[in-house]
Amino acid sequence: MPKLIVVDRAGNQAAIEAREGLTVMEAIRDSGFDEMLALCGGCCSCATCHVFVDEHWAEAVGMPGGDENDLLDASDHRGPRSRLSCQIAMAAALDGLRVTIAPED
């Protein structure tokens, strides 16, 4: 199973198992990170599953889509590697992906 490395808002890092086919949001939420609000449940309607993708993973993960990009603009913490984690599907190619949960808006 691919590994996902998650850094929470306090800076604590944990490696979790992320089943292929699930989104990064689901993997984080299901691993007990209570900071992952993900209010709309992953249908790209809010911006409460915002993460920063590590620099060397940015290319593999890719850029946000149109709606996602607009939603990310709602965040005061948007950065160049911001993504909504509900829009990143876990795959073998992303084994070892490291993301940081963005501060709360």
CA angle at 87 for the pair 16 and 52, rounded to the nearest 5°: 60
Q: Among residues 7 and 37, whose Cβ is nearest to other proteins?
A: 37
Which residue from 10, 11, 12, 43 is in contact with other proteins, where contact means CB under 8 A?
43
Given a contact cutoff of 8 angstroms between Cβ atoms, the answer to whether 84 and 47 are in contact is yes
Residue 16 host element (H or E): strand 13-17
Is residue 34 involved in binding other proteins (CB under 8 A)? yes
Site residues, other proteins (CB under 8 A): 22, 26, 29-30, 32, 34-35, 37, 39-41, 43-47, 66-67, 70-71, 73-74
